[in-house]
Structure 1
C-alpha cells in the first residue's frame, strides 16, 4: 500500500490538513487551539480519518515562533559579547520605526541590558588581536548562573570569520549551564554586519526553548498516535527533522506562510502559471509573496516584530488583515480594520461564540458572499443576524447603516492588502500587470477579483485546495538546508581555487546532513560602496558579474557596468526532492448551480448563482457576478469576470473587459 504524506498547517483561526496518497487528496479543517497548538494538529489528523499505520511522513508548519516574537513570550535570554559592545542590540541602526511619529518607540531588544555580559577578547579581520581572557569568562559564567536564564546568545566581534573565541565561550557555557540553550553566532549566522548578526542570534536563543518544548510535545503526541515524528517547515521553504528545527529556531519564524508559497508555486506551475503574486488571506492575517519562473523568491532582509532576522526566508510580506480582523472607529471617527483579530475564540460576531465586534468575515457574511447558516471547520455555524447587529452597532458610532459599514470594512481591508501586494511587486521592481494573482486561504477567493482590479491584474487563479493550500505545500515540500560562508573580496580578485574550495566545504556539510542532495550555488554581490547586496545564481565564476548587473537592473531599474563589483557571501542551497503527486481534475458531476442568493456588489444588491465547486470539473465555466463555494473557502466572481476550471483543478478567472 502506498504511504500517505500529511501536511498540517496551524493558523491563527483554523488548523488545516492535506493528505496525499496514490494521487488522492484528502482535506480537513478544524479550529486552532491557541493554548496548545499540537492539540489542533492531532484533531486535524483525527478529523481526516487517516489510519496512523499508513502515514509515511508528517510535515508541519506553525506560528509558534512568530507568535512568541510578536507577543514577546520567548525565553529569558542573556547575551555574551566582546567587552565594549554590550549595547549593539540597543543602538541598532538608529532608524526610527515611524519617521514622522516622534512619540513612537522601536520595540525593546529581546535581551534587556542587565542580562548582557561581556568578556575580554578581540578578533580582527585577520585573526586574533587579544586572546580570550579566562578570568572575564569565569566572571560572565558566574553572573549567568546567578541570573537564572533559559537561553544565552554568544556574539563576539568577527566571530563570523574567526569563531575560535565564540566556540570557547560556548563550551564553557554548555558545561556550566547544562539545561540552558546556547546559540553561537558563528553557527546561527556566519555573516558580517554586527547588529543583524547579534539580532538574529539573540532571536534564535530567545525562541529556542519555546520552540523545542512545543516540537517535543508534538513529536510525543504523534508518536503516541503511531504517526511518524513531524518534519518542520523552515522559513526558506523546505522541511527539516524536529531536532534540527529546534536547534535553528530563528529559521522557523515564517514556517506557516512558507508552506503556502511552496503550495502556490506547485499548483500554479501545474496550470502553466509560473509568474505569480500569491495572496493568502486567512483568519488572522494576509501573506503575499512573489513567484518568478515557478520559484519562490527568498530574502535575507526580513524584519519580524521589529527584530531583523538575516536568514534565508521566503520573501513574504504580512499584514494584519484577515477574516477575523476587527473593525473599529478611531478617535477621529475613521473606520479602521485590524490589527487586532477576533481569532478562533471568540471569533467574529457571526460565529455566535461571544464575539461582539464586527470583523471582515461579518462584512462578507452580511453582503451575501458567505451563506447564512454555513458551517466552518465542523464547529462554527455562521449567523448573519449576529453580524448585522455588530455592524449596526459600529455603524451607529460612524453615522452609517449596517450595509455602508460592511462595504466600508471590505474597502478598508482591500486597501491594506493592495498595499501589501505593491510591496512585493512594485517595490521589488516587478510590474503586477505581468503576473497572475493566485488566491488561497479561507478568505482569499472572496477578495481576489477586487484586488486584481486595483492592481491591473487580468488573471486570477483559485486552486481547488485553496482553503488548505499551505497544508498542501507542506505535504509536497522538499528536505532543504541552507549554508553560507563570508567571502568579502573584489570580484576581479577572486582566487578560483579558494572560491571552489569554499563551496566544496559547504557541499561536504550538505552531504553529511542530507546524503546526496541536489545543490544550487548562490552568491551575494554588490557594487563597491553599496550598503546592501543582491543574491544571484553562482553556476560559474565567469557568470557572476553579468548575473549581478541583470539582477540589479531588475530590482532598481539601472546597472553600473563601469563600477567594480564585490563578492560578499557564498551560499549553498541543498535539497532532497520528494515525489509530487499528479493533480488531475475529474469531469463535472451534476449541475453546479445549487441555488441563487442576493449579494452586494459595490452597493447594489444582485441575485447571483451560487455554484458548488465539488460538482464542477474540468471545463466547467462561471460568469460573474457569481459565487463559487469550495469545501474550505469561497470565491466571489465580480461582475466583468469569468473563467473555467482547468485540467489540474484551478479555477482560472479572466477579466472580460481587460
Structure 2
C-alpha cells in the first residue's frame, strides 16, 4: 500500500544523494554516480534508504529528482546531432556573440565554440519587426524545400529561432508544422516557447542548448521512470528546475534546459528553509560537493534570482566567458572547486586547483580506483579532516598512502613535503572561494559581515569554518543532513513555473490595458504548468518586471505585489524602480525616461512550512569520542582535536575548537577560533569565540 513517503534524489558529478522522508524521520545515503547509466545509482540508493526505513519501494508516494546531467552534456558536448533554423542573415549570431570582452586586454582571448558548427545552421527568408509586425512573410514552400534538403543529414533535434519571435511566434509554429509532417521523428524546440525574451544571442543559444540536450534528457527520464516502476516505485516523478521549483517529468522532458542548475537550486531551497526556521534575513548559502562549490545570497528567506546564467566558462569565474542560458534561475555563483577537483603546479610555480575534476571515476587518489593525481579530498585527508576508515559511512575506505604519494609529487618541484603541499592546496581552494564570495557580495551591494553562512554538500562543512574566518563572518550553521542538502531541498520546494515575455514599453508610454492583459496571460500560462503537477493545491502568483533607464544595456528586477500587478500604474512602477536602483547604485538618474523590457509571473504552490524551533537547553560540554591530529591553518601547525559523533550530540551540548564532528555524509571542522552548540533540531551552530 502506497504511503506518504517521499524520495529526493540529486545526481552530482561525484555522488548521487538519496533522501527518504518517513513521517518525521529522514534516511539518506551517498552512492558514487554511475556515468554510463545514472539511473543505476538512483535504484541502488533507493533500495538502501528503503531498507533502513523498513519500507518497500512500492510505498513511496512521490519522487523529486534533480541532476547535473544536462549541465554536463553541455560542458562535455555530448548532446544530439542538432540543427538551427533561423532568419536569413542571422545564421552566425550564436558564433558572433556580443561585442563584450570579459578580458579586455587579452589578445589571445578564448571564447567557447558554439554548440553547432556553421554547416548545421540554416536560414529562411522571413522577418518580423521589433513590434511583432510581419515585414517578410514566410512561405510554406520554402520551409518544405529546406526540410526536404536537411532530412538526409540525420538530425535528431532542431532548434527554431527567428528574429523577434518572442513578439510574434507564427513563423516558428509554421516551421514546426512542416517538420512534424516531413520529419515526424525529429524533436523540435521553438525559441518563442523555450525563452520568449529579447536579445537574440541569448535566446538563440538557449533554444539551441534545449534542442541539443533534449533527446538525451528525454531518453534518460523515460528510462528512469521505467526502471523505478520495475523496482516497485511506480509513483509520480517530478523534476527540480533551475528556478527553485518543481515541474512535471513531461515538462522537464520538453524543456530540459530548465534543469541545467537543478541540483544546486535544491541546495538554495534547503538553505532558505533553514533561514526561515532560524528567522534569519541575511544568509549566504555555501554548497560544496565533489565537483564544484557555489554560493547564493538569501535575503528575507528568499534566494536571489536571475534571468540569465552561464555554463561552460572558458575562464573560470570570468563572467562573459561561457554560454549564456536565458531562463529563470536561482542566482548562484560558482566560487571554487569541489572535493574531487585536481591540483597542479602552473608555469609560474603556483599551486592551482581545478577546474578539472577526478569525479567518481576514477576519483581522488585516496579512493584507490586508479586515480594518481592529487585532489582536494587528498589534501583534506592528510590534514586530518577526514577519517580514512569512516568516509561515506565506511562504504569508501580511503588510502592515506596514495594521497601522500600524489601530494608529494605535487610538492616536489616546489620543494614541499606532502603535508605542506596539502596545506597549500587547501589554502588555495579556501582563498579562491573567499575572494569570489567577496566580489559577488560587492557586486550586489552587500557586506558579508552581516550575513550568516549555511553550509551543506559533502565537502562544505570541511571548509566552511576556514571560509568564515577569511570572510569575517561570525556565524555558521551546519544543518542536519548537510551532506545531502540539495536532495533534502527538493523535498522542501514548491511546485512552480515562471512564465516570461519581452514586451518593450517606456513608462512615458505606459499602456494600462496592454499591461493588464500581458500579466494576466503570463499568470494563466504559469499556473497551467503548475496544474500539471498538482491539480488541487492553491496557487499564488509572484510578479516581476525588469526595468532600466533608457539607453542602458541591462535591467534590474522589480517585484510587484498582487495588488500592484492587478491595478498597474506608471507612477508606482517608477517609485519601485528608483528605490531598488538607489539600493544598488546609490543614486538615481534625473531626467531620464524609464523602460520595461521583460515581464515575468511565477506561479507557485506554498513551500513546506519551516520546522518550529524549540528552545536550546543550557550549555554543557559534549562527550569526546576520540582525538585526532588536525592541521590548524591559522597557526600552521598540527594540533590535537576532539572527535565528536554527531549522532550522539544532545541539544545544548557545546564543542570548542579545534574539533571534528563526524557523521556518515560529511565531517564538520571547528577551527580554533570558533565554538559550536547543538540546537534542538540537530543543527550545529558555530560562532566566533569572543576575543
Equivalent in the alignment of 1:23: 24
The residue aligned with 1:189 is: 195
**C-alpha separation in 1, matches of 2:576 and 2:265:** 26
3-state SS of paired residue (1:381): coil
Matched, 1:533 2:523: no
Q: Where does residue 340 of structure 1 map in the other structure?
A: 356
Shift of 1:378: 5.3
Alpha-carbon distance in structure 2 between the residues aligned to 1:264 and 1:279: 9
In structure 2, the residue matched to 1:164 is: 170
Tell me which stretches of 4 or more aligned residues in structure 1 moved more than 4 Å.
583-591
Choose 571-580 or 176-185, whichever is displaced more: 571-580
Task: Measure how far apart 1:319 and its partner are.
Answer: 4.3
For 1:450 and 1:476, locate their aligned partners in 2 and report how far apart those are by CA, in whole Å: 29
Partner of 2:583: 554
Q: Is the 8 A contact 2:7 2:62 kept in 1?
A: yes
Distance 1:623 1:278 in 2: 23
Distance 1:510 1:329 in 2: 50
1:53 touches 1:226 (CA, 8 Å); kept in 2? yes
Shift of residue 94, structure 1, vs aligned partner: 3.0
Report the alpha carbon displacement of residue 379 of structure 1 after superposing the two structures with TM: 3.2
| Partner residue of 1:544 out of 554, 560, 573 | 573
CA contact (8 A) 1:524 1:570 kept: yes
TM-score by length of 2: 0.92
The equivalent of 1:200 in structure 2 is 206
Give TM-score, length-normalised by structure 1: 0.96
Partner of residue 305, structure 2: 298
CA contact (8 A) 1:152 1:180 kept: yes
CA root-mean-square deviation: 2.0
SS across alignment from 1:380 = coil
- How far the C-alpha of 1:495 sits from its partner, in A, is 2.3
In structure 2, distance between residues paired with 1:556 and 1:208: 40
Higher mean Cα deviation, 24-33 or 230-239? 24-33
Matched, 1:326 2:346: no
Q: Is 1:502–2:524 an aligned residue pair?
A: no
Q: Pick from 385, 393, 397: which aligns with 1:369? A: 385
Residue in structure 2 matched with residue 87 of structure 1 by the alignment = 92
| 1:2 CA drift (Å) | 5.0
Q: Please give the alpha-carbon distance, in whole angstroms, between the structure 2 residues aligned to 1:368 and 1:400.
A: 18
Contact 2:274 2:610 in 1 (8 A): no
Decide whether aligned partners of structure 1 residues 117 and 625 sit closer, same or farther in structure 2, where only a CA change above 3 A counts: same
The residue that corresponds to 1:628 in the other structure is 661
Q: Which residues in structure 2 correspond to 1:247-262 (within 5 Å)?
A: 247-262=254-269
Residue pairs, 1:41-190, within 5 angstroms: 41-49=42-50, 50-96=55-101, 98-126=103-131, 127-190=133-196
Post-superposition offset of 1:583: 6.9
Partner of 1:467: 483
Matched residue SS, 2:218: helix
Q: Which range moves more in the overlay, 248-257 or 515-524?
A: 515-524
Matched, 1:405 2:421: yes
Q: Name 1:650's counterpart in structure 2.
A: 683
For 1:208-607, what aligned pairs fall within 5 Å after superposition?
208-227=214-233, 228-305=235-312, 306-376=322-392, 379-513=395-529, 514=531, 515=535, 516-539=538-561, 540=564, 541-542=568-569, 543-560=572-589, 562-577=591-606, 579-580=608-609, 582=611, 592-602=623-633, 603-607=636-640
SS of equivalent residue, structure 1 residue 286: strand
User: For structure 1, which segment, 135-144 or 165-174, has the greater mean C-alpha deviation from structure 2 after superposition?
Assistant: 135-144
Q: Which shows bigger deviation, 519-528 or 315-324?
A: 315-324
Q: Distance in 2 between matches of 1:191 and 1:67?
A: 25
Q: CA deviation at 1:584?
A: 6.4
Shift of 1:108: 0.9
Partner of 2:587, secondary structure, is: coil
Residue 317 of structure 2 corresponds to which residue in structure 1?
none
The unaligned stretches of length 5 or more in structure 1 are none
**Displacement, 1:488?**
1.0
Tell me, yes or no, if the aligned pair for 1:288 and 1:316 is still in contact at 8 Å: yes
- SS for the counterpart of 2:108 is coil
Query: Residue 332 of structure 1: CA displacement?
Result: 2.8
What is the CA–CA distance in structure 1 between the aligned matches of 2:685 and 2:621, rounded to whole Å? 20
Deviates more, 1:212-221 or 1:576-585: 576-585
Q: Once the 2 structures are TM-superposed, how far is the Cα of residue 216 of structure 1 from its aligned partner? A: 0.9
In structure 2, what is the equivalent of residue 10 of structure 1?
A: 11
Aligned length: 658
> Could you say which residue in structure 1 is the equivalent of 2:315?
none
Distance 1:482 1:470, change over 3 A: same
